Amino acid sequence: MRRFHSFYLLVFLIGLCLFLISCGEKTTPEEETDQMAKKNEMKEEPKMDIQKQTFGQMPDRQQVDLYVLTNGKGLSAKIMTYGATLVSLGVPDRNGDIADITLGCDSLEGYMAASPYFGSTVGRYANRIAKGKFTLEGVEYTLATNNGENHLHGGIKGFDKVLWQAEPFREEKMVGVKFVYFSKDGEEGYPGNLACTVTYMMTENDELKIIYEAETDKATPVNLTHHSYFNLAGQGEGNILSHELLLDADKYTPVDAGLIPTGEIRDVADSPMDFTTPHTIGERIDQVEGGYDHNFVLRSGGGALVLAARVYEPKTGRIMEIHTTEPGIQFYSGNFLDGTITGKAGKVYNQHYGFCLEPQHFPDSPNKPDFPSTILEPGAKYLSRTVFKFSIN
């Protein structure tokens, strides 16, 4: 009986030893390399990248390049040298599915044929100048008129229709492209040679930053902005009326029938212009004649880079925040889109299929002494910054 017990005790002890040995066993060098690779993969920095492609050719055969910026986390932007235009912006939704959230065209010819400033850099003066006239230092200037009797977005051949010189760059945690354009004295009627730089940067924090710089040799109005039509559900995916919008503006500038500000600065309170708390774009749009196409006066007053707008698309969870140093933001609800343009991937753009939020100075400022000045003097530096920041909820 005792011998029987000792036998089982021995078997138990041998089993225990084998178990302990197997627990303490070292991994093979191959297994170790494998485990390290896995750990490194988890730690690996997102891959920021920038690639250059050809987008098309101008009628005079100059090549139009496209720069593709990626942040390794799903955000990507394609920007071409024609108009320093944002051609597409890929953004992940709450399931990680990426959609292009800006309206536009598949080809350069599309942009040249009929683009209502899709993704463009707009200048020398974004928005309207009444009757294309203003007086500066006692001299009356006459600009090209291209919107009825008014001047709009820089005239017949604004900054959106010229070829910019591009220089890509990389910095720690960002990739970017610097676009340069020299606007000659008298171009579209403006005084002074203006050297302009627009720098797009993509960061690993899911931001697309744009910095505008300019210098002149004669006093001139300058008001540069970015003109993407956004649909956070994806370009061509229906209208934007259920997007929720917040604007940090408690005043706006009412306009006349030609969309020129009357000069009044009116409170948004108790009106369909009040987006100081989030409202869908469609909720009160019927109460606004023609739809939203107004300059909102930001509470910041301009200067500091602060939040101006936040837009949320409930189906996809995409959120876009706009931070700017500008004192105003033009909110345009795509009222003039009418289904006559077939855009990217064969999508037809009907009314309200995209919205624009254009950080800028107020329209017609050169004729409105009470509005913040848009006059750039020789020796001074124009500097404006806007950040589009993406997240999901």
Site for ligand BGC, rule CB under 6 A: 116-117, 259, 293, 330, 332, 336, 356, 358
Q: Which residue has the tokens 């017990």?
A: 5
Nearer to ligand BGC, 259 or 387 (CB): 259
Nearer to ligand BGC, 136 or 265 (CB): 265
Active site residue 358: yes
Nearer to ligand BGC, 207 or 293 (CB): 293
Active site residue 227: yes
Instruction: Name the catalytic one among 153, 226, 227, 323.
Output: 227
Cis peptide bond prior to 124, omega within 30° of 0: yes
Nearer to ligand BGC, 179 or 292 (CB): 292
What is the Cα–Cα distance from 292 to 77, expressed in whole angstroms?
27
Nearest to 165 by CA among 126, 203, 195: 195
Q: How far is CA 144 from the centre of its chain?
A: 27
Closest contact distance (angstroms) between CB of 225 and ligand BGC is 8
For residue 36, the SS3 value is: helix
Nearest to 153 by CA among 118, 183, 129: 129
Nearest to 198 by CA among 164, 161, 157: 164
Nearer to ligand BGC, 67 or 388 (CB): 388
Nearer to ligand BGC, 79 or 356 (CB): 356
Instruction: Name the catalytic one among 187, 244, 326, 358.
Output: 358
Closest contact distance (angstroms) between CB of 358 and ligand BGC is 6
Which are the contacts of 323, defined by CB distance < 8 A and separation ≥ 6?
305, 306, 307, 308, 386, 387, 389
Closest contact distance (angstroms) between CB of 151 and ligand BGC is 12
Question: Which residue type sits at 370?
Answer: D
Closest contact distance (angstroms) between CB of 356 and ligand BGC is 6
Nearer to ligand BGC, 236 or 359 (CB): 359
Question: Which residue type sits at 275?
Answer: F
For residue 37, the SS3 value is: helix
Tokens representing 376 are 């750039």
Which are the contacts of 63, defined by CB distance < 8 A and separation ≥ 6?
54, 56, 57
8 Å CB contact between 239 and 156: no
Instruction: State which H helix or E strand residue 338 sits in.
Output: none
Tokens representing 167 are 């220089």
Closest contact distance (angstroms) between CB of 364 and ligand BGC is 12
Closest contact distance (angstroms) between CB of 96 and ligand BGC is 33
Closest contact distance (angstroms) between CB of 120 and ligand BGC is 9
Which are the contacts of 168, defined by CB distance < 8 A and separation ≥ 6?
50, 52, 67, 175, 176, 177, 178
By annotation, the residues acting in catalysis are 227, 358
